[in-house]
Structure 1
Amino acid sequence: MRNPAVLARQALTIDHISNGRLELGIGTGVHGRDPVYEMIGIEDWEGPERVKRFKEQIEVIDRLLRQSVSNYDGQFYRLKEAKMNPAPVQKPRPPLTIAAMGDNMLKIAAQYADTWNSYGSTDWRAPADIIFENTKTRVELIDKYCEDIGRNPESLSHS
């Protein structure tokens, strides 16, 4: 998981280089702890803390890409008069694709994502009927979470 201000700055640069073709895909990573993190010396967190950090990351990224000057005072990240110049090519910001399977991540995706990305099962050997049911349940949940915050579920693309 990257520093959200650095990631937002990198996304803004790519948005300009690509003339507004960036779609920023982001998620918490693998289900459970990621063994690669230890191999390359990056701190990893258990799922609940990772999701809390991710929520703040998305709040920071969204704010930085929408506003010319941003302030944020969270548990993990802070911004003080952070400036993002020039503004993004895409308005109001480059689209965000958020990968989400669990309940808390689905709520975050419902609030911030332009596109929601998911897959049927953490078990790649799961039969098709299980994958279908898991996906159907997640679609129903994310639609409900959109409605809970006053968002039209059809405004959220699925991939």
Structure 2
Amino acid sequence: MSLRLSTVILPYRRWHEGARAAWVRAEQLGFHTAYTYDHLSWRSFRDGPWFGAIPTLTAAAAATDRLRLGTLVTSPNFRHPVTLAKELISLDDVSGGRITLGVGAGGTGFDATALGQEPWTPRERADRFAEFVSLLDRLLTEDAVSYEGRFYSAHEARNIPGCVQRPRLPFAVAATGPRGLRLAARYGQAWVTTGDPKLYENGTPEQSVAALRGQIDKLAEACETAGRDVAGLDKVLLTGFTPDRNRPLASLDAFVDFAGRHQELGFTEIVIHWPIPDSDFAADEKVFERIAMEALAQLD
């Protein structure tokens, strides 16, 4: 399968002060998908402007024609499957069937306590994530759903007419642990990873490649258990969190080398962050655009 190149556009700018232009430019540059983070705030951007993912993607859908759109990633931290399903069906309709839902268990950052709850333990996050994904799958594929679970409930929740994409819009499941990988194998059309977080500070690119190879091997085991061919599952690498950090965006050659090594591992999609000056995602915009337009031709 040919490698696809996508981008993440963080929602930190007002729509008419640069944000709209970025989404339109992403389509012009030929990116496969443009994603955004689904957070209430995020790390170093916490004390500055930050806009909601679903309204941003709705506006982006109206401003573009071909570009796929999605979240990287939505989590149970402040979402409920019933209301989220209604918003996703509406977004899929507005976009003409161009939406991918990136979904993960969530972490312990700002989102985890914004609604006033205590942070969940890793076990509770995993438990909630499993119930969240399974219920969301039903809500997006059935006209009416009633369900009573440990964490979530739905009472005759109506979701007519359903998604434009059938049987539902695709899930890209972010996971590295065994339970999450089983969810990816069962419900995912794609699997997402950022690498091994333990290697971010002091690891080497070689160690990162080895760790990613191990993750893909475990994904293959989960798929085999689920009776599924792992080759049928897209494998997405969200860059910027491996020991390489943003060095692959330093030049076209650097990116081609990075992308080639990860394509050999089996990745089918690489996602790079839209440059943001004076941030962890700072990069030369001219180099970024050259990568978008020229890199894939060198990897065929």
What is the TM-score normalised by the length of structure 2?
A: 0.50
Pairwise mapping of residues 68-87 of structure 1 onto structure 2 (< 5 A)? 68-87=143-162
CA distance in 1 between partners of 2:134 and 2:111 (Å):
26
Q: Is the 8 Å Cα contact of residues 9 and 84 (structure 1) preserved in structure 2?
A: yes
Superposition pairs for residues 124-139 of structure 1, below 5 Å?
Answer: 124-125=200-201, 126-139=203-216
Q: Name the aligned partner's letter for residue 211 of structure 2.
A: N
Identity %: 31
Cα 1:42–1:121 change in 2 (3 A) is: farther
Q: Does 1:154 align with 2:269?
A: no
Q: 3-state SS of the aligned residue for 1:23?
A: strand
| 1:61-140 equivalence runs, <5 A | 61-123=136-198, 124-125=200-201, 126-140=203-217
CA change 1:74–1:22 in 2 (3 A) is same
Moved over 4 A (4+): none
Runs (5+) with no aligned partner, structure 1: none
Alpha-carbon separation, structure 2, partners of 1:145 and 1:37: 28
Cα contact 1:101–1:119 (8 A) shared by 2: no
SS of the residue 2:99 aligns to: coil
Q: 1:34 Cα deviation (Å)?
A: 2.0
Q: Is the 8 A contact 2:112 2:120 kept in 1?
A: no
Q: How far has the Cα of 1:73 moved from its partner? A: 2.4
Residue from 130, 133, 157 that aligns with 1:58: 133
Distance in 1, matches of 2:132 and 2:172, equals: 14
For residues 61-110 of structure 1, what are the alpha-carbon distances to aligned partners after superposition, in whole Å with 9 as ceiling and x for unaligned?
10010111122222111223221012210000000111111121111111
Deviations 1:19-70 (A, max 9, x none): 100101111223xx224533x3443311110010011010111001011112
The residue type equivalent to 1:51 in the other structure is A
Q: What is residue 47 of structure 1 aligned with on the other side? A: 122
Q: Which residue in 2 is equivalent to 1:9?
A: 86
Quote the Cα distance in structure 2 between the aligned partners of 1:8 and 1:103.
Answer: 26
Q: What is aligned with 1:21? A: 98
Matched, 1:37 2:117: no
Equivalent position amino acid for 1:95 in 2:
P
Q: After the TM superposition, which of the residue ranges 40-49 and 59-68 deviates more from structure 2?
A: 40-49
Larger Rg: 2
CA-atom RMSD in angstroms: 1.4
Paired AA for residue 108 in structure 1: L
> TM-score scaled to structure 1, two decimals?
0.91
